[in-house]
């Protein structure tokens, strides 16, 4: 198995931030310059980045996101550049081995400080909340629902984005309105539910249930003074979404999934106290996790091979193939 890329190094290119998975670079000195997103192979669980990575995970996430950005372009605008300038390709060419298949060049957006979460099924923290209160994020639900059961209708449950690396905090819709405004909150809710409806319908044709997911949106200013809301960051990947195989779906317990629940289950089994330093993963868990991510990629995109798997014949134009 290839070695996992845990950290990028792009010379003097300005590094803006390292997230749990992505390294973010500025492509110019101006405050509104374009950005380079590079998805590494890091994997996090329980709000900690683990000592082991999953080889190729960043490529899988990037190319699933690229698929969905294109699929959803008639529903919502996104932050991807429609084409990559030649000067940018030349700038990044020396870093081809790090960037191939795992990079996106995007317009800079002013991100809204909320995670837009939509739940179509009762699982995860929603299930825990429901058992304790009969509601999910203060939204009352019918009594007697089982774990993993389909909800009467999808529900929108926003969360406040925490920039310190901690777990995002659930907030009420009223709090969201107070944070970003009534009209903007209503539009983000509308877009979130519309995306979920379209994406879950598509996933069903591939034998997958989209149980829940989360989106990030931003605002892009245009040169003429106008602006628009865009879908940003990643979208509908196993890192941000619960995908279950439809075959064998049986409410009343947890479901097999293509997300990192497998890693969480392993960490629970070894009794990790969920404090730093985070442990590494044995080879068998790394391999099985990669298989799960790859199966999600195959099912959703219909493709067998990732872009950027072989560097033998790659040139500068391949660097950002996923956005062209």
Q: How many domains does the chain have?
A: 1
Q: Which of 26-35, 243-252, 282-291 has the lowest mean pLDDT?
A: 26-35
Query: φ and ψ at 155, to 5 degrees?
Result: -120, 145
What DSSP letter does each residue of 252-304 carry, written as one string?
A: SS----SSTHHHHHHHHHTT--S-SSPP---HHHHHHHHHHHHHHHHHHH--S
Residue 225 inside a domain? The answer is yes
CA distances from 152 to 215, 228, 286 (A): 21, 32, 37
Residue 19 inside a domain? The answer is no
User: What pLDDT shows up at residue 102?
Assistant: 96
DSSP state of 21: S
Determine if the peptide bond prior to 255 is cis (ω within 30°).
Answer: no
- 2-24 confidence digits (pLDDT tens): 899 999 999 989 999 999 999 99
Residue 45: partners with Cβ closer than 8 Å, 6 or more residues away? 260, 263, 264, 267, 278
Model confidence at 107: pLDDT above 50? yes
- 183-227 confidence digits (pLDDT tens): 999 999 999 999 999 999 999 999 999 999 999 999 999 888 889
User: What pLDDT shows up at residue 234?
Assistant: 94
User: What pLDDT shows up at residue 120?
Assistant: 98
Averaged pLDDT score across all residues of the chain:
91
- 309-323 confidence digits (pLDDT tens): 643 333 333 444 433
Indicate left, alpha or beta for 207 from its phi (over 0: left) and psi (-120 to 50: alpha): left
Residue 23 inside a domain? The answer is no
Residue 234 inside a domain? The answer is yes
User: What pLDDT shows up at residue 312?
Assistant: 32
Residue 188 inside a domain? The answer is yes
Model confidence at 324: pLDDT above 50? no
Residue 54 inside a domain? The answer is no
End-to-end CA, the chain: 29
Beta strand segments in 7-91, E: 15-18, 22-26, 35-39, 42-45, 48-53
- 34-74 confidence digits (pLDDT tens): 999 999 999 999 989 999 999 999 999 999 999 999 999 99
Residue 76 inside a domain? The answer is no
User: What pLDDT shows up at residue 323?
Assistant: 33
Model confidence at 169: pLDDT above 50? yes
Residue 233 inside a domain? The answer is yes
What are the respective helix, strand and coil percentages of the chain, to the nearest 5?
A: 30, 25, 45
- 215: domain CATH number? 3.30.470.20
d(CA 290, CA 285): 9
Tell me if the pTM is above 0.85.
Answer: yes
Parent domain of 154: 110-263
């Amino acid at each position: 198995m290839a070695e996992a890329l845990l950290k990028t190094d792009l010379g003097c290119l300005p590094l803006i931030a390292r997230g749990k998975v992505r390294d973010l670079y500025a492509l110019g000195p101006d405050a509104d310059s374009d950005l380079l997103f590079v998805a590494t192979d890091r994997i996090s669980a329980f709000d900690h980045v683990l000592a082991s990575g999953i080889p190729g995970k960043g490529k899988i996430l990037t190319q699933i996101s690229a698929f969905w950005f294109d699929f959803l372009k008639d529903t919502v605008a996104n932050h991807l550049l429609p084409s990559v300038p030649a000067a940018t390709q030349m700038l990044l060419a020396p870093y081809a081995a790090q960037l191939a298949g795992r990079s996106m060049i995007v317009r800079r957006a002013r991100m809204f400080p909320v995670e837009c979460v939509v739940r179509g099924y009762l699982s995860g923290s929603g299930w825990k909340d429901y058992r304790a209160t009969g509601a999910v994020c203060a939204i009352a639900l019918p009594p007697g629902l089982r774990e993993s059961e389909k909800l009467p209708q999808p529900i929108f449950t926003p969360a406040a984005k925490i920039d310190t690396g901690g777990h995002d905090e659930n907030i009420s819709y009223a709090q969201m309105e107070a944070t970003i405004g009534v009209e903007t909150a209503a539009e983000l809710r509308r877009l979130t539910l519309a995306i979920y409806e379209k994406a879950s319908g598509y996933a069903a044709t591939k034998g997958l249930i989209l149980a829940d997911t989360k989106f990030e949106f931003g605002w892009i200013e245009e040169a003429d003074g106008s602006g628009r809301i865009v879908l940003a960051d990643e979208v509908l990947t196993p890192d941000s979404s619960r995908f279950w195989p439809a075959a064998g779906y049986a409410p009343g317990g947890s479901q097999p999934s293509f997300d990192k629940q497998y890693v969480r289950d392993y960490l629970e089994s070894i009794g990790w106290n969920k404090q730093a330093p985070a442990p590494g993963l044995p080879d068998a868990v790394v391999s099985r996790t990669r298989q799960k991510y790859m199966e999600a990629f195959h099912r959703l995109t219909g493709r067998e091979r990732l872009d950027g798997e072989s560097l033998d014949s790659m040139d500068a134009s391949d660097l950002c193939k996923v956005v062209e």
